[in-house]
């Protein structure tokens, strides 16, 4: 099997490769989205703490 035939996927390349690309993208999106969500939550907590800190002690 050559590199060329590997990429050609027996003629089905334009269906197979987008599927795998989409799968990787969705996996990556999930990680990115979860990280962002966590970061936003952390930011909100820190902001609330800062405001309480400046108001209280």
Residue from 4, 49, 51, 56 that binds other proteins (CB under 8 A)? 49
9 binds other proteins (CB under 8 A): yes
CA 7 – CA 21 distance, rounded (Å): 13
For the CB of residue 53, give the shortest distance to other proteins in the complex, in Å: 10
Using CB under 8 A as the criterion, what x/- string covers residues 11-30 for binding other proteins? xx--xx-xxx-xx--xx-xx
Element (H, E) at 49: helix 13-55
**Total residue count of the chain as it appears in this document:** 57
Contact 7, 13 (CB under 8 A): yes
51 binds other proteins (CB under 8 A): no
């Amino acid at each position: 099997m050559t590199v060329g035939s590997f990429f050609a996927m027996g003629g089905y390349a334009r269906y197979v490769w987008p599927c795998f690309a989409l799968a990787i993208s969705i996996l990556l999106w999930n990680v990115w989205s979860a990280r962002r969500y966590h970061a936003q939550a952390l930011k909100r907590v820190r902001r609330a703490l800062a405001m309480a800190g400046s108001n209280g002690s």
